[in-house]
Chains A and B, each alone.
Chain A
């Protein structure tokens, strides 16, 4: 469904002085969320923007998602704090007739990991990104909680219960997942003394990169409060290294480099054992997410090949879990 007429009707209200829009196109869309791109035609210069929305009837955030309104607040707070982030231009209200969502600046750049990790134009960025990522994560963890939306609090015990329940719901035996769950329960750290905002999905695909490095952190859908070490563990999960397996931080750099940048920006020491715990948990989590894609492929409505094939990537996380927990000599 196109959103042309409500956008045209609202544009002068959202961008005072705007005379119309150009190049409206849909970038992605599932049943519950859509992403659109267009240019706002304005006498003082056109503005390239992205609209993210959940059509009416899909307003309630499913399961773990923070919800688009919360995402808009998080992104705006991140922008205000100087974290590479798109500026939020307008938060949709009922009278806009577009459901819930927001309009933000369109940040040009690359999100495709293989290009970021291999293309010549990002050679300089690759040398800078690990430090920039550590600094951005530190910035996210420093956001003032009193200005943030009310997000769920993630605890290790709760997260392990959720993962175990989801794995069990697939009713398909994966002894490596059982071994990982057992290891995680046996090695669970005490509740973190420090609780901060956690981005929750800080990895390739959600990072816009230019030749000079990090331009924007996207997709705050899984943001929550919890152990700040979680974000540092998640960016080190092997699934985000895209072949560069000797560079733990997104295939870009070393843990030491990431931790040094994080410590210097946050003033908070990195708890290396905790980060490793979250890396193991994250590896299992991605494996379970892959299995979940397979379930949704079977149940529908999305019977796509892509979802089906992601189901066959769960075994990648099994070998990575074994490399972490039972390395071969």
Chain B
């Protein structure tokens, strides 16, 4: 067992220093780069916190959807291949719900402030599938 502080606590402490002490001293391109770096640190902290739960649920959904077991990457490769071959699509029961949930879990880590994600968190629930756009 590794000791404390946890990786997330360490990342947050470094990010806090960069945000409050370093950022005000920078301008121009260096300030821009620091903001990108801080966004990366925040993303990593979110991923460490939420990834395990999301991955477990995704693996379970995929096993059920595909009827196979394996690593999360293997199952995703299988799903990709079945969609590419035309074997599965939005009409496949459970598929739309699965990709929606997986995508929401990705956005929660990648870009929780993305407007489409915020809108879907507020309003989204049931999936209705369009077969064509008119």
Contact = CB atoms under 8 A, between A and B. Distances in A.
A311 to B, nearest CB: 9
B73 interface: yes
A56 interface: no
Interface residues of B, number: 43
A179 B125 contact: no
Contact of A182 (B43, B73, B84, B133): B84
Interface residues of A, number: 38
A328 B84 contact: no
A273 B83 contact: no
Nearest to B84: A178
A306 B32 CA distance: 10
A243 B96 CA distance: 25
B127 A176 contact: no
B115 A241 contact: yes
Contacts of B125: 328-329
A322 B105 CA distance: 14
Contact of B115 (A245, A273, A277, A326): A245
Chain B CB count within 10 A is highest, among A183, A243, A327, A328, for: A328
Given A173-B80, A182-B86, A312-B43, 8 more contacts: A175-B80, A238-B116, A305-B40, A312-B111, A315-B106, A319-B114, A326-B99, A328-B126
B107 A316 contact: yes
Contacts of B84: 178, 181-182
Interface in A166-188: 173-176, 178-179, 181-183, 187
A328 B124 contact: yes
A309 B117 contact: no
A147 interface: no
